[in-house]
Amino acid sequence: MQQRELGESGVEVSEVGFGAWVVGTDWWGDRSKDEAIEMIHHAIDEGITYFDTGDVYGHGNSEQVLGEALVDRRDEVTLATKVGYDFYNNPQAGHGELPKEITPEYVREATEKSLDRLGVDSVDVLQLHNANVEEVDEDILEVFDELKAEGTIEATGWALGPSIGWLAEGDMAIAEEFDCLQLVWNVFEQEVGNHFLETIEKTGSSTSLIPRVPHSSGLLNEQVTPETELGEGDHRGFRPDEWYETGWEKLETLRFLEGSKDGVPERTMGQAAIAYLLSHEDVATVTPTFRTKADITEWAGASEVPLTDGEVDRVDDLYETNFDIDRFDGMDSLRSSVDGEDLRDAGLARKVAGD
């Protein structure tokens, strides 16, 4: 497993990371605490050193499970968490978004509570969780600097929501040189990642990108096929049928990424999806959603089967022509940021409904 640095923080992460949202809630399948801890230990054994959690996942449960799993292995990993949602005073209603509280006082208080649940004195990375741009003022930036100076954190991050707002938020994170920026990005959904690659290049920022949902909600790892019936409550069910049908057609155009050739070991589509993101030098780590130990074993291997320049170029060409598919996939309104106003201003209107 290769390692990369988050920005210029000196914090190193494995190219494939572990999104600990899966061990704190039942949104990605039921598992006991012992099974969750076993998954975490298996990930470390497979070379994964970056573990990304958040205080709101399971209302602290993810942090507690991760902390217990790392009692004897803390020095083997890079630990990241997120703050910003006030779940202490608000009940969770299904998959709906909770109210946010982003003030210096709350960030400090929430961070201290996270450290207690994790059983540590410090974390390597602290991220703002889905903060809107107007919520992040000089006082918030200052408290992050203070936490760094105090040794409570080593690196700063900003995790973006898929449709809560992302364009101005990510651009601000890069302009302020947060060490990392987490975003939804995959072969089928590239607009966000491509925009921030351009922003980093234009500004010369050192911010690293951390893609999540690299498998496009089960399409690119082929865990959701035309025969799959999504269970009641499965968060992936919000996507329209047209999106899945179009995705399966797109998938067939990517079969050239699979298999063994030119001395590269056998590569699965699930690995190829991660390797494509890792082909961008501004990407530090990719956090897929592991459901099983088999997922961990397979996808951790993505670090060992990089794409060639020719393969990357071919994927990019396919994306530019919408994978040679000329029909609507039903997802434009879900890609918009702040109702699409900022996307239009930035010239990204092709991803906004009605344009």
Question: What pLDDT, in 10s, does the model give residues 282-339?
Answer: 999 999 999 899 999 999 999 999 999 999 999 999 999 989 888 766 555 444 455 5
User: Could you count the other beta carbons within 10 Å of the beta carbon of residue 318?
Assistant: 17
d(CA 12, CA 169): 24
Any idea how long the chain is? 355
Find all residues with CB under 8 Å of 150, minimum gap 6, and list them. Answer: none
Residue keyed to tokens 């923080």: 9
* Rounded Cα gap, residues 347 and 231, in angstroms: 38
Q: Estimate the crossing angle of helix 138-149 against helix 104-118, to 10 degrees.
A: 40
**Residue 213 and residue 316: Cα distance in Å, rounded?**
18
Domain ranges (residues) in the chain = 9-346
- The residues near 332 (Cβ < 8 Å, ≥ 6 apart) are 351, 352, 353, 354
User: Fold for domain 9-346?
Assistant: TIM Barrel (3.20.20)
Strand partners, 19: 52
State pTM to two decimals: 0.89
Q: Please, how many CA atoms are within 13 Å of residue 201, restricted to the half-sphere of its CB?
A: 8
Q: pLDDT tens, 10-52?
A: 999 999 999 887 776 655 556 677 888 999 999 999 999 999 9
Token pair in block for residue 61: 């449960």
Return mean pLDDT, the chain: 86
Neighbours of 308 (CB within 10 A): 13
